[in-house]
Structure 1
């Protein structure tokens, strides 16, 4: 019985870590975090290559509406957004959000792949401060971002 359990655990670990992360993902994230050369990054899983790649990079001048407009309506994505805000004490601050975008209208297989690869991918991006899971735009509206930033 114990043998079967161990086999199951190994299978799950391998299944969950089956997605490679393209070096460009880490490089772009470091640029966003350290140099602030990007406002946001949208990542896509290339199922055929079994890896996460950079799909779109937002300029520092782009805003939250530009970011949300860059997410597909019916396909899953990972994204990071560098959110600038002013605290109640009038201090300029920034938070890096990790958003797992999984719209209800996306394919079940796609949702499963993104869900099972999320934690491993997120660990590759050192410096995430806030995580959001969103299935429709209201779950990641600017009001939600503002409330989670503090």
Structure 2
């Protein structure tokens, strides 16, 4: 009768509707968006829900953010980028990054992929979405070019 967790994950890789989003995820995202308390937030799927894994303080850099993503596990993340436009205006854009490294387990990739859209809808205010399977696909140059 005991069901293996991996068997549960296999069953349609967690149909997106079955993934809960912890209230703290939405709360911390609102703080990033409105109060600008954080530079970034990293989220992970824990069992059947998305939870906050790490909050990057507003003084942290994009390199700090990149270094916080595990090399072989999937994550969702948001990053608040401050930049200057060609017209010399100070702006900010909130990026949603779906991190799915090639070296992560296939099952994990399926769960993150099937839950991404529902989770992203919970975070109102995302301006740019980026998917990355390798650090080069989310280099700072790419982030900057997508912001402009």
Instruction: Establish whether TM, by shorter chain, passes 0.5.
Output: yes
Match of 1:29 in 2: 29
Q: Distance in 2 between matches of 1:103 and 1:75?
A: 7
Q: What TM-score comes out, normalization by structure 1 length?
A: 0.89
Structure 2 unaligned residues grouped into runs of 5+: 1-10
Larger radius of gyration: 1
Deviation per residue, 1:58-88 (Å, 9 max, x gap): 0000000000000000000000000000001
Q: Distance in 2 between matches of 1:16 and 1:22?
A: 15
1:90 correspondence with 2:60? no
Structure 1 residue matching 2:78: 3-state secondary structure: strand
Where do residues 1-150 of structure 1 align in structure 2 (5 Å cutoff)?
15-47=15-47, 50-150=48-148
Q: What TM-score comes out, normalization by structure 2 length?
A: 0.90
* 1:16, distance to aligned residue in structure 2 (A): 1.9
Q: Distance in 2 between matches of 1:104 and 1:97?
A: 21
RMSD of Structure 2 on Structure 1 (CA)? 1.3
Structure with more relative contact order (C-alpha pairs < 8 Å, separation 6 or more) = 2
Structure 1 unaligned residues grouped into runs of 5+: 1-10
Q: Distance in 1 between matches of 2:31 and 2:110?
A: 29
Matched length: 137
Deviating above 3 A after TM superposition, structure 1's stretches of 4 or more consecutive aligned residues are: none
